[in-house]
Structure 1
């Protein structure tokens, strides 16, 4: 998994651009795809102090600097992404606890 902080610009169906921060990226051998999890910069937290995280499959460009975001197509992919997100969040919680000691 790549945890390097970087931003991407996502264009919605209306052509509106939204700057987003990449939470992490990973590749799936099972689905033979790369995935990115991201959230809009400046997004408001809800009442539970959570932000909405988006996920997309992506195809990197040849130079590796950008690429095309693709929709997640199956429930199996969503289940795998959710598992990866939960693992990532658990690791983040453990790091935060270690920092507090």
Structure 2
């Protein structure tokens, strides 16, 4: 489960043991090809030039965009991963998108 703090784009991920870890939303997007939305997260407090692992998940956004809790889903297919990696590469390499 993920809990979102709308003010700071911070998301708390809760694992199976109930441990909470804070992440910052890098960006999210919708793919018409897969008819899914995706969110990419980095550890909260990361420095802009710091190398960090980016987490990517599929999710179902709330239609009213007012929910602060939503479920994240693992990306299961290699084709989906390739698409998400392509979007991330574009984001990281295009100064206008940051």
Structure with the bigger RCO (C-alpha within 8 Å, sep 6+) is 2
TM-score (structure 2 length as normaliser)? 0.76
Contact 1:61 1:68 in 2 (8 A): no
Matches within 5 A, 1:81-92: 81-92=84-95
Contact 2:11 2:22 in 1 (8 A): yes
**For structure 1, which runs of at least 5 residues remain unmatched after alignment?**
97-101
Which structure is larger by alpha-carbon Rg, 1 or 2?
A: 1
Distance in structure 1 (CA, Å) of the matches to 2:16 and 2:92: 29
Between structures 1 and 2, the one with greater helix share: 1
Question: Over aligned residues, Cα RMSD in angstroms?
Answer: 2.5
User: Relative to 1, partners in 2 of residues 1:43 and 1:14: Cα closer, same or farther, differing over 3 Å?
Assistant: farther
**For structure 2, which runs of at least 5 residues remain unmatched after alignment?**
1-7
Distance in structure 2 (CA, Å) of the matches to 1:82 and 1:39: 14
The alpha-carbon deviation at position 7 of structure 1 amounts to: 1.0
Select 2:38's aligned residue among 35, 38, 41: 35
2:29 aligns with 26
TM-score (structure 1 length as normaliser)? 0.74
